[in-house]
Amino acid sequence: RTGWIAIGLGLAAVAAVTVGGLSPHVHSRVVDWLDPLGSIAAGRGANQIAQSLFAFAWGGELGTGLGNGHSVLIGFAAKSDFILATIGEELGLTGLVAVFLLYAVLVSRGFRTGIALRDPFGRLLAIGLAATVGLQVFVVAGGVLALIPLTGMTMPFIAQGGSSVVSNWIVVALLVRMSDDARRPAPAPAPVPAPGPEVG
């Protein structure tokens, strides 16, 4: 129901505003999102968001080449939270578009699998798993590009990490299994037994 979705989004917004105001760590991320270059103006040096934006700008259209970036300036998160900035610097806009297209193919195939399934639970599961991957990509990319506050999530299949990589491959395995079910022909209907002779 639309009303339940609206209530859920409203509660999530209230929780986000509350946590952003009470938690110093979250508040600092919101401040960096609102003014990524403010730390430079204040004389504190470039924060991670600013370094990420510099990396994207330095990469240009074709990038600096694999291994020729300066992701070390971003810090320890260059291989995890900010791996997308490393890709943008070394592969440029062309490489970023290619990465996003691969994610789009994965998510769209998950949606198509969900639509093709005959089982209602399978449909919800496949579409939900595909939407989870798409939402994760949007949140990470939006945070690194300073479109939304940074959350600290990892980029699926690319960022360094243990449990996140395993869970993402489990999602892919489930989608592949459900895609196999969706491609199988529908089972033939059970034959209706012929009516027997009436017993008087």
Q: Looking at the predicted structure, is the pLDDT value of residue 200 above 60?
A: no
pLDDT at 96: 92
Can you tell me the distance from the alpha carbon of 49 to that of 32, in angstroms, rounded to the nearest whole number?
Answer: 7
Task: Give 45's contacts (C-beta < 8 A, 6+ positions apart).
Answer: 39
Q: Looking at the predicted structure, is the pLDDT value of residue 40 above 90?
A: no
Which residue has better confidence, 86 or 185?
Answer: 86
Q: Looking at the predicted structure, is the pLDDT value of residue 107 above 90?
A: yes
pLDDT-derived band at 198 (thresholds 50, 70, 90) equals low
pLDDT-derived band at 106 (thresholds 50, 70, 90) equals very high
Report the chain's mean pLDDT, rounded to a whole number: 84
pLDDT at 60: 87
* Angle, helices 48-59/83-116, rounded to nearest 10 degrees: 80
- The mean pLDDT value for 177-199 works out to 73
Q: Looking at the predicted structure, is the pLDDT value of residue 36 above 90?
A: no
Q: Which amino acid is at 116?
A: A
- Per-residue pLDDT of 45-102, as tens digits, reads 777 888 888 888 888 888 888 888 777 767 666 777 788 888 999 999 999 999 999 9
Segments making up each domain of the chain, as ranges:
20-183
Tell me the pTM. 0.79
pLDDT at 93: 92
pLDDT at 1: 74
* Torsion angle (degrees, nearest 10) of CA 158, 163, 107, 33: -70
DSSP per position, 102-151: HHHHHHHHHHHHHHH-SSHHHHHHHHHHHHHHHHHHHHHHHHHTTSS---
